[in-house]
Structure 1
Amino acid sequence: MSDPSLKGWNHIPAVPLKVSPFFSWPLRPLEMLAWVWNAWFLITEKLIILGIAIVSFYWFQPPLEVSKTLAFGWVAEMYVRNLLLMTAVAGGLHLYFYTFTKQGKELRYDPRPLMKNGRQFTLGGQIRDNMFWTLASGVTVWTGYEVLMFWALANGYAPMLTWAAHPVWFVAMFLLIPVWESFYSYWIHRFLHIPFLYKHVHALHHRNINVGPWSGLSMHPVEHLIFIGSVLVHWVVGAHPVHILFHLQYVSLTAATTHTGFEGLVVKDKNRLALGTFHHQMHHRYFECNYGSLEIPWDKFFGSFHDGTAEANERMKDRRQRIMGS
């Protein structure tokens, strides 16, 4: 049951929030299988983005041999594709949830509207600010890493993984990329909350106390370089071009889907597609908690986990006061 004493929210899911059963004791195999199934099937962010990656590879990706030599044509082709993808995902979700309000406030966490104006925002408003940083910096850095990785694969600088040579590892890579992303995101997020970096870099993202789809990839260019840089692991860990596409699209596009401000997409009175998590929504309101995700519960290990209950809220208030005092 949700905790009614946690004030200021329109919607609170069942609390206390549960972390991945892979990190709970005693181990419960059925719960572990259910966690993986719910993360991937039947209609999920991961499966949709895998489909986008496959379509991108076969129909909208220059041949690998073309990537051996840097040239404006194929780089521009990838940039335009990524620009259209981000606009379709973030823009489509924004139109559905906020412009046309097709779902009203059902499953919406924060009851307050997005900020139309504000001196803290680039171009004077939250949505304009978010769109600018997402498209001008985020998509550019995303494409830059994509170009780098395809150039490296084409020239043999990064190891290539093929279906023919390693079919099991080929499939496993899709499952492992989100796990790596969860591990990586926690540590770089804690790094960005170091006071100097927070003030000069990460504070731009935290202008969004109440988030919308355009908020997810709205970051300082330095943060984009760090955040999307998780793909550089494939200079060491072999990958196929479709893995590179999936990795970068997963990092970039789920930034939009997980920041919708809604728990999910309701169709016929049922949540059919899980989107934003209350776990991360609380981070944007309370700042010094829930730096990571529920996949690998580093927050629980290091005392920064807010499970959505009133008791946890009091602990987080004390923790924030200690941090601000120091």
Structure 2
Amino acid sequence: MQTTNAHKEGMKLTSSWNIWDLLSKGVFMVGVFVLATAARGEWFLVATYLGKDFLRDVMPTFDVTVSSTSHLRPLSMGTWFKDLPIYVAFAVLTSFCTFWGIGMSFDFYFYKNRKDKPEQWKCQPDRWLTKSNEWHEFLLGSTNMLIGSVASGFISCYIMNGGKCTLYTRPDEYGWAYLLLSAPALFFYNEAVSYYPHRMFHTPFLYRHVHKVHHRYGSPTLYSTTAMHTLEFLVYQTLLALPVFVVPLHAVVFVPILLYGYYYGMMDHSGIKMDAVWPWQPSSMFHDDHHRHFHCNFGFNTILFDRFHGTLRRTNRKYGETVFGGKGKTEFLKNNQSEFITYSTSSIVPFK
């Protein structure tokens, strides 16, 4: 199977594991995790779901009971959004500080401080964003982050004031079997509503009028995670948040899976060669190849849907911005032989 030089670099085995390597990687992963939650304001939703009692002590709204699937009561619109400006302000200010602060730190650590050694850490060592595209993704990403933070402030205020929410906290409320089965069900739901809408945005009309905004970043960085057409951003946000208002989900199922998706979404857009500790999670090269080759690799947390539909990138096939369909062109193949790319997750360590 043929691979590019970037893939060969990414798959080299590393033998020099030491405390500094582990510490650096740990700090990076925690930082990306925080940045991922801040990017859309979900840090405040998490606080609302898991720390309702504590929030009542520090927020003015304390005279209502938060609804669950078992405790719903009609409320007026004014009661639902009591003290709304405070919730929105908390969400927006903290999100901006975290998004910009950690994002700039990563930019300095890799893209500035280690710019002379891109082959050690960069998915595409030979490609860099232009200054105009760097500013474009920063400003667009920040704009969508602002929209997401404001929305999180509204939703958090609504929930804290007793609005309907199907999240529950007692494991026995729906039984242990339901709780355990809901975890993989939610995971595959999230992957499905990532893959299929994403592939839909790669149809010729929607790509040219909506999704192309995101693909101007051929060599993406952290900020490109939220740098997309606002319509597309809202579609993903709505589909990912929908379950908590439709089906009963335990907090220990919904919150970790939500944050898992945001963490790897940020990592996969970072442009940094990163592996994954989970066997089903492809390396960051998987999604970086999506930006490099356009119409392939539509999934995020697994290659399952791409493998099933044949949209996983193959060797010896031609891809490009005008090659739609997700399967590339095959006119120059020898004996029609073409293999799927393997995205190893066992040996990519950019901290050297």
TM-score band (shorter)?
A: 0.5 to 0.7
Find the counterpart in structure 1 of residue 267 from structure 2: 257
The one-character-per-residue Cα deviations of 1:137-180 (angstroms, maximum 9, x if unpaired) are 23422541463265157434221311454595668767765543
The Cα shift of 1:281 comes to 1.0
The Cα shift of 1:130 comes to 1.0
SS of alignment partner, residue 145 of structure 2? helix
Find the counterpart in structure 1 of residue 194 from structure 2: 185
Q: Is the 8 A contact 1:210 1:261 kept in 2?
A: yes
The one-character-per-residue Cα deviations of 1:92-144 (angstroms, maximum 9, x if unpaired) are 22221112228932132201352234xxxxxxx12211111111123422541
CA distance in 2, matches of 1:145, 1:196: 31
**Structure 2 residue 94 is the aligned partner of structure 1 residue 81:** yes
- Give structure 2 stretches of 5+ with no counterpart: 13-25, 38-42, 67-79, 276-280, 330-352
The Cα shift of 1:185 comes to 0.7
Find the counterpart in structure 2 of residue 135 from structure 1: 142
Q: Is the 8 A contact 1:299 1:305 kept in 2?
A: yes
Q: Which of residues 282, 291, 309 in structure 2 aligns to 1:284?
A: 291
CA distance in 1, matches of 2:211, 2:321: 20
The Cα shift of 1:202 comes to 0.8
CA distance in 2, matches of 1:228, 1:318: 28
CA distance in 1, matches of 2:198, 2:126: 26
**Structure 2 residue 224 is the aligned partner of structure 1 residue 215:** yes
After TM superposition, the structure 1 stretch with the greater mean CA deviation from structure 2, 165-174 or 178-187, is 165-174
Q: Which of residues 3, 15, 18 in structure 2 aligns to 1:6?
A: 3
The one-character-per-residue Cα deviations of 1:210-266 (angstroms, maximum 9, x if unpaired) are 11111221111111101222111211123467876656655545433221112239x
Q: Is the 8 A contact 2:165 2:244 kept in 1?
A: yes
What TM-score do the two structures reach when normalised by structure 1? 0.68
The Cα shift of 1:301 comes to 0.8
CA distance in 2, matches of 1:232, 1:322: 30
Find the counterpart in structure 2 of residue 232 from structure 1: 242
CA distance in 2, matches of 1:277, 1:178: 19
Aligned CA RMSD, in angstroms, stands at 4.2
AA at the equivalent of 2:126 = R
| C-alpha distance 254-180 of structure 1, shift in aligned 2 (>3 A) | same
The one-character-per-residue Cα deviations of 1:16-75 (angstroms, maximum 9, x if unpaired) are xxxxxxxxxxxxxxxxxxxxxxxxxx999599849975778549x844956932511111
Structure-to-structure mapping, 1:145-184, within 5 angstroms: 145=152, 147-148=154-155, 151-152=158-159, 154-163=161-170, 165-166=172-173, 178-184=187-193
CA distance in 1, matches of 2:179, 2:33: 17
The Cα shift of 1:196 comes to 1.8
The Cα shift of 1:10 comes to 6.8
CA distance in 2, matches of 1:83, 1:260: 18
Q: Is the 8 A contact 2:88 2:152 kept in 1?
A: no
CA distance in 1, matches of 2:181, 2:27: 19
CA distance in 2, matches of 1:317, 1:91: 33
The Cα shift of 1:208 comes to 0.8
Q: Is the 8 A contact 1:110 1:210 kept in 2?
A: yes
AA at the equivalent of 1:305 = L
After TM superposition, the structure 1 stretch with the greater mean CA deviation from structure 2, 47-56 or 105-114, is 47-56
- Give structure 1 stretches of 5+ with no counterpart: 16-41, 118-124, 266-273, 307-311
After TM superposition, the structure 1 stretch with the greater mean CA deviation from structure 2, 143-152 or 215-224, is 143-152
The Cα shift of 1:277 comes to 1.3
| C-alpha distance 251-218 of structure 1, shift in aligned 2 (>3 A) | farther
CA distance in 1, matches of 2:317, 2:307: 13
CA distance in 2, matches of 1:225, 1:103: 38
Q: Which of residues 107, 111, 123 in structure 2 aligns to 1:109?
A: 123
- Give the number of aligned pairs: 276
Question: Greater CA radius of gyration, 1 or 2?
Answer: 2
CA distance in 2, matches of 1:116, 1:322: 26
After TM superposition, the structure 1 stretch with the greater mean CA deviation from structure 2, 169-178 or 189-198, is 169-178
CA distance in 2, matches of 1:163, 1:43: 33
CA distance in 1, matches of 2:129, 2:31: 32
AA at the equivalent of 1:226 = V
Q: Which of residues 106, 115, 126 in structure 2 aligns to 1:93?
A: 106
What TM-score do the two structures reach when normalised by structure 2? 0.63
CA distance in 2, matches of 1:318, 1:211: 16
Find the counterpart in structure 1 of residue 315 from structure 2: 313
